[in-house]
Structure formats: C-alpha cells, structure tokens
Amino acid sequence: MAKIKLTKNELKKQKEDLKRYRRYLPMLQLKKKQLQLEIVKVYHAIQNSSSEANNLRSSVLKWVDVFAEGVAIKELCKLEKINVEEGSVAGIDIPVFLNVEFSQKPYDFLLTPFWVDQGIQAEKEVLTLKAKLLIYHKQMNVLREELRIATQRVNLFEKVKIPEAGEIIRIIQIHLGELQTADVVRGKIAKVKIERRKEALRA
C-alpha cells in the first residue's frame, strides 16, 4: 500500500473510488460468467463436431476400399474458402462459422465409378467439419484469453482494490477522528485557562 494522505480530500477520493469499484465488480463478474458459459457451449460444439466427424469416417470406411480403383477424390474436390462472420459474446468479438466454398473438377459420369459422387459428398462433409472445428478452436482461444483477463480483473477488484480502499478509508477516518478529538481537548484546555485568568483578574 502506498503512503496514505490523511486528509479529507483523500477520504472523499477513496470513498468515490470504492463506490466505483463496487459498481464495476458485478459487471465484471457477469462478464466472467458469460464467458464461462460460452466456453462450455463451444466445448460441446467441438465435442459434437468431432463425434460427427468420427461417425462419418466410420460410415465411409464401409465402402472406402473401392478407392483402390484409382480415383483421387481429393483431386476432384478441394476446399477453397472458409467463410466466417464476426459475432459478439459479452462484448468480445469472435469468429463465427458461416459456410465453406469448394472447387470441383468436372468428371465424366459414365467413365468414373458409381461411388465417386458419394465419395465427393463425404469429402465435402469431412472438410466442412474440419473447417467448423478450426473456427470453434479459434473461438475457444479468444474466449479463454478474455476469461483469463476478466478473472484477473475480478480478483483485482475483490481481493485488492475494494479491501485496500476500505482500509485506507478506515485509517483516514481514525486519523481525522483523532484530530477532531484533539481539537476538542485543546479547546477545553484553552477554555479552562481563560476561566482561570478571569478568576485571577477578579481576585
């Protein structure tokens, strides 16, 4: 704690600071709670998308052996762009997945195996899930960093600023009270001296 100015002006300042800290703290706590809830939502979204990707892989494995026929699905279908928009959570900007754009090479429907259409669709679904997961992980990184900052601020207000301001106010009030008491005592002493002088003069 820095050196305290034991003055009425400092007392007023500390009371205003304390009032401001107590007003801001609930807002910071709310922001922290919102971020925690959003992190849980994004975590579940990651889990669901990962599960969906695993299920898709399992279903593809049932007929993937036909890829031995020599058709390179990945060459026919490529992810070109992941489209995102800016969202907001507790005043924080985060990327939000919109969709993906693919480029697809033309191929002869008569000369390629029947399963190629299904293979291309599966590849698109896998790439879309990977794109979603990429954006979810970016969201998680932003949210975790903001939660770290919000938690630090809540702790600063709860454990440092509010107790410190309260203690400073207590110290100043005690000091000013002692000064006031000393003034009263000095006044009484001065009054007694004056009375004695008057008595001495009358005598």
CATH of the domain at 14: 1.10.287.3240
Mean residue pLDDT of the chain comes to 86
Is the pLDDT at 77 greater than 70? The verdict is yes
Q: What total number of domains does the chain contain? A: 1
Q: Averaged over 5-21, what is the pLDDT?
A: 92
Q: What is the pLDDT of residues 143-159, one digit of tens each?
A: 999 999 999 999 999 99
Specify if 177 maps to a domain.
Answer: no
Domain encompassing residue 141: 8-167
CA gap 156, 146 in Å, rounded: 15
Specify if 143 maps to a domain.
Answer: yes
CA gap 74, 105 in Å, rounded: 10
Label each residue of the chain as H, E or C: CCCCCCCHHHHHHHHHHHHHHHHHHHHHHHHHHHHHHHHHHHHHHHHHHHHHHHHHHHHHHCCHHHHHHCCCHHHHEEEEEEEEEEEEECCEEEEEEEEEEEEECCCCCCCCCCCHHHHHHHHHHHHHHHHHHHHHHHHHHHHHHHHHHHHHHHHHHHHHHHHHHHHHHHHHHHHHHHHHHHHHHHHHHHHHHHHHHHHHHHC
Specify if 137 maps to a domain.
Answer: yes
- For residues 119 and 73, the answer to whether their CB atoms sit within 8 Å is yes
Is the pLDDT at 196 greater than 80? The verdict is no
Per-residue confidence (pLDDT) for residue 182, from 0 to 100:
78
Per-residue confidence (pLDDT) for residue 111, from 0 to 100:
66
pTM exceeds cut of 0.85: no
Specify if 190 maps to a domain.
Answer: no
Is the pLDDT at 63 greater than 70? The verdict is no
CA gap 199, 203 in Å, rounded: 6
Per-residue confidence (pLDDT) for residue 75, from 0 to 100:
72
Q: What is the pLDDT of residues 81-99, one digit of tens each?
A: 999 999 998 889 999 999 9
